[in-house]
Structure 1
Amino acid sequence: MDGVKHTSEDSELISETIEKLPVSVSMEGKGKRLWKKVKYQLVEYNSLPAYLRDNEFILGHYRSEWPLKQVLLSVFTIHNETLNVWTHLIGFFLFLSLTIYTAMKVPKVVDLHSLQLPEVLKADLHKLQECLPSLPNMPDLHKLSGELKSTLPSIDLLPSFSRWHVMDLLYNCLPERFSHSNQTDVCVLRSMKEDVANMIAPLMLRPITRWPFFAFLGGAMFCLLASSTCHLLSCHSERLTYILLRLDYAGIAALISTSFYPPVYYSFMCNPFFCNLYLGFITLLGVATILVSLLPVFQNPEFRTVRASLFLGMGLSGVAPILHKLILFWHQPEALHTTGYEVLMGIFYGIGALIYATRIPERWMPGKFDIAGHSHQLFHVLVVAGAYTHYQAGLVYLKWRDLEGCRGT
């Protein structure tokens, strides 16, 4: 029929195929599930598409072009990016906690309207207000009434020398009836002086602005979160990888540029010209680097030198203000203390960059550090350590300027 001759052997083969059809159909569902399991298995370096090949010394445990759902769930599984994701994700939550802690611990000026004072002080505090008119935001002391408050807000944050300094100022400001007194009244005078000093001292410490410090904390959190997201999701597709890498570079630029805000602002807050000069320069350089990282036109090979130069320039731009700070405040222990932290931060970042560039230790034993211990993970840990060191330097700056202001500058 139709010019085709069928042999008996052909007929037997067709009948066998028909008999097996129900079995094949019943196995279809299981086959699909098995294929999904095989499809989302980790692969070796040689099986990767070109855009995912980055480190030839990490030989296996790669995710390659997985669906977004599987990629998101892989944050809880073991592969060669697991620790890359979690080292910076934990760092992000660390700095988020530090930001909240710092915001809650900002010293607040004591509101004397909320204090309740002993009767013996009420009549005399108004004279103290007239004697010390320079105290900031001194309230109407005639409105104070009630019982003595058990504790004063933020008094523990004040150094003892500040309270004693206030006590010295109060000697000539106390009522005249204490000027000529017996030994008992002298004891009362001393006790009263200390009580009043403890209440007035917080008013003399007005916390300086915190925005440069919080700008640094924001830059650190953006960098760490962008890096963690990039390592988690970049195996999904080439397009997403391209976007996330640009975001990762922008995060690095944000961290570097905002890191200079606290040292520059708090070192030169009393010298507006240099403060604006250094802040303006690093801000422009940071914005330029972020734009170069994000705009597609700058991703062409001919702009590689420009990109590298901008990142290097941002790192070196911190040398001038630090040296300038040391020249201006060589007699201040806080200047040396903060510089020590900044040098340590630079060491952490420098060692991390060196390890990242040389791909040590996996280049010595390819395949042995696929899961844990390879260079990018060590680089991440050192970045978090450097940023935390800079956070400690920022606390020194805040304490220094809160207490000293612009005195001696």
Structure 2
Amino acid sequence: MQKRRPVRESSKTTPERNGKALDSGEKKKRSERRLMKFGELPRYLKDNEYIHNHYRCEWSLKETFLSAFSWHNETLNIWTHLGGFLIFGWMMVVSCMETTEVGLAGFVNVFSGVTIRWPWPSMAKAVYFSSDHHDSNVTHTTSFLNPQGEVNYETIPKWPWLVFLTGAMTCLICSSMSHLFACHSRRFNLFFWRLDYAGISLMIVCSFFAPIYYAFSCHTNWRLFYLSSISILGLLAIFALLSPALSAPRFRSFRAALFLTMGFSGVIPASHVLYLHKDHPNVVIALVYELAMAVLYATGAGFYVSRIPERWKPGAFDIAGHSHQIFHVFVVLGALAHSVASLLIMDFRRASPSCAF
């Protein structure tokens, strides 16, 4: 009688669902372009139990890429930040092509074709008038409200502003790509979510460069201290978030707290700037925009952690309106508020090139 040869187990890792190995039929079923329910997903794709349907699971790379143009529960997550990337990309192009100084109304003028005037002339005079300046300076408006360059202003370095735009674009495109490709495989999932967290850390660090560089141009030691501190903090955060364990859903609150801590560390240099330049309207208005940015980011983080509104009505917000999409919108709005603040600080510095306040 012929003996049966024992079946050797494969050394390859087998995908699992709820701890059970998947047979070839189920793996093939997954690779088809169909949307799945939460209960059908492998463990590594289970992130939000309040979103019940419309999941992509281990599609081919081609189908995963093309899914950016179809409806599923990640479509708006992809496009909210891809749209933000395009906005900041446009700002980058305008900044690099400007023959004069970069400025707030310059962006609006390029976009709309409408010439914007400074609505508070007395404030503009207060910012730019000093006894050391020629009397004609009283009538100067800020260069960001004068993109055609009729008035000659002291040139200031543009690179800190471009650093911020680069950080914002990197964060937004990494986020968009993560939501698009993380469903392809376990390996892609781990790689892209860590890339996403690194992008957030990079954006926070880069956001500090423009306002701190321009606000502390006459206090170079403080400028070096603040920029070095946030850069070191950002690198530590990136290294910490490269740990696969911290990518797990149970560390959602920890990640949000880490990012908020990095962001709110800006309260210290902001208070310092206010102490130094509290008599300059541009600085005060810029800090109001920074406060708006903080509120927007904190509100978005609140949605991210609480999973509201899908927690209140599971399954009702699978396609549109769930917490992560709302979080994305608040991130873009917060970054735009910070852009306005940075441009105001740039014009404050451009008007005071000699550090005579």
Instruction: Sort the TM-score into its range (normalised by shorter chain).
Output: 0.7 to 0.9
Conserved 8 A contact 1:226-1:247: yes
Structure 2 unaligned blocks of 5 or more: 1-24, 102-115, 138-148
Match 2:155 to one of 207, 212, 225: 207
Conserved 8 A contact 1:342-1:389: yes
Match of 2:304 in 1: 356
Match of 1:275 in 2: 223
Match of 2:68 in 1: 75
The residue type paired with residue 380 of structure 1 is H
* Residue 299 to residue 97, structure 1, CA distance change in 2 (3 Å): closer
1:382 aligns with 2:330: yes
* Residue 219 to residue 46, structure 1, CA distance change in 2 (3 Å): same
Counterpart Cα distance in 2 of 1:330 and 1:363: 44
Q: What TM-score do the two structures reach when normalised by structure 2?
A: 0.75
The residue type paired with residue 270 of structure 1 is C
* SS class of match (1:260): helix
* SS class of match (2:166): helix
Q: How does 1:34-45 map to 2 (within 5 A)?
A: 39-45=32-38
Deviation at 1:263, TM superposition (A): 1.6
Match of 2:171 in 1: 223
1:333 aligns with 2:281: yes
* Residue 308 to residue 375, structure 1, CA distance change in 2 (3 Å): closer
The residue type paired with residue 272 of structure 2 is H
1:294-331 deviation per Cα after TM superposition (whole angstroms, max 9, x unaligned): 35587799999986775343123201000011111111
Match of 1:85 in 2: 78
Match of 2:12 in 1: none
Deviation at 1:334, TM superposition (A): 1.2
Deviation at 1:102, TM superposition (A): 2.0
Counterpart Cα distance in 1 of 2:249 and 2:47: 17
Q: What TM-score do the two structures reach when normalised by structure 1?
A: 0.66
Q: How does 1:7-406 map to 2 (within 5 A)?
A: 39-105=32-98, 107=100, 202=152, 205-294=153-242, 310-406=258-354
Structure 1 unaligned blocks of 5 or more: 1-31, 109-155, 170-198
Identity %: 44
Counterpart Cα distance in 2 of 1:226 and 1:399: 31
Conserved 8 A contact 1:362-1:368: yes
Conserved 8 A contact 1:166-1:201: no
Please identify the structure whose Cα radius of gyration is greater: 1
When the two structures are aligned, how many residues end up with a matched partner? 297
Counterpart Cα distance in 2 of 1:86 and 1:348: 19
* Residue 59 to residue 337, structure 1, CA distance change in 2 (3 Å): same
Structure having the higher helix fraction is 1
* Residue 406 to residue 343, structure 1, CA distance change in 2 (3 Å): farther
Conserved 8 A contact 2:293-2:334: yes
Conserved 8 A contact 2:57-2:183: yes
- The worse-fitting range, judged by mean Cα deviation, of 264-273 and 307-316 is 307-316
- The worse-fitting range, judged by mean Cα deviation, of 261-270 and 233-242 is 261-270
Deviation at 1:406, TM superposition (A): 4.0
